[in-house]
Amino acid sequence: MKNPVFANLSAGGKLVLLLGLVIVFGILFSLLGLLIGKLYLGVDLTQLAVLIANPEGKALTFALFFQFLSQLGVFILPALFYGFFVSSKPADNLKISKVPSGISLLIVTFAVYAILPFINYLQDINQGLHVSTTIDYWIRSKESQAQQLTEAFLKTESLGGLSVNLVVMALMPAIGEELIFRGIVQRLFVRMTRNVHAGIVITAFIFSAIHLQFLGFLPRFVLGMMLGYAFVISGSLWTPIWLHFLNNASSVVIYYLHFNGYIKISMDNFGNTQNMVYVVGSLLVTIWFFIMMYNKEGAALKFKYHA
């Protein structure tokens, strides 16, 4: 079979190709979403921007749809087109053709909850960091806006609303972000640095920074590390996709249960503790889970990346 047009690009060239695809599809799907929103809500673009930032009623339904469309345009489609452009076997190239083992899925399921005390401890540290008055104000105002939008989506009393939130806020980001960051970016950085650990760390840093929510940078960075090692050890992209989905879905479900009075503990307090024994133990247990997965899979960190 003839090589795809960009099969022989360098790792750096492939990063540029990916970035170009993300920009093109991101712009196209943003314009498409805005056009649909203009027609659906019957407002001009200026009003539409305000409604997306502070959605209520019909605007909330559209804002969720816009989030879905953004995930599709910024992450999923660019990754799939990238696969076709660089490989005659896109599914193999993106590592989605390999079915993960049951033991890998089970271990990362436990790891998602085992790491919570350590993650929440990092969150508290992150919240206390200060750079300068101006930068702090900008960061915290952006964080507040993002939190308000997230809570607007999460405040639902119906199972239908919960199901939509699980798709838009858990499933789509898990698939899209893992296709881009672990399926492509991490492998390219491993190829460029010739070091698996360096590739995982660099990608986790970019993964956390690109969310532009710096008050959660440290915990998201640790999550990125977990996703990276889950991918390398299992050899299947579905393992970090499952870990990512479970992490997001747990937050969505806990918020729903707390908001509707089924449980007393809030999403922010779930797994939170000030006991340093539990915090350190949380990290050690999680590391042990990944070592156990490594031993069970019989994989080596000299995992061969064909980027």
Where are the domains positioned within the chain?
1-93, 94-307
pLDDT digits over 245-276, tens only? Answer: 999 999 999 999 999 999 988 887 888 888 89
Return the CA Rg of the chain: 20
Axis-axis angle for helices 238-259, 172-180 (nearest 10): 150
pLDDT attached to residue 132: 67
pLDDT at 301: 47
Instruction: Give residue 30's pLDDT.
Output: 92
List Cβ neighbours of 23 (8 Å cut-off, separation of 6 or more). Answer: none
Predicted confidence at residue 32, as pLDDT, reads: 94
Mean pLDDT by 10 residues, the chain (307 residues): 79 95 96 91 84 81 92 96 93 90 94 95 84 68 75 89 95 97 96 95 95 84 96 94 96 94 85 89 96 78 49
Q: What is the pLDDT of residue 218?
A: 93
Determine contact, residues 190/196, Cβ cutoff 8 Å. yes
Residue bearing tokens 């929440």: 120
Asked if 1 and 90 touch (Cβ cutoff 8 Å), the reply is: no
Burial of 9 (0-12, 13-18, 19+ CB in 10 A): middle
Residue 36's pLDDT is 92
Q: What pLDDT does residue 137 have?
A: 67
User: Which residues neighbour 40 within 8 Å (Cβ) at sequence distance 6 or greater?
Assistant: 58, 62
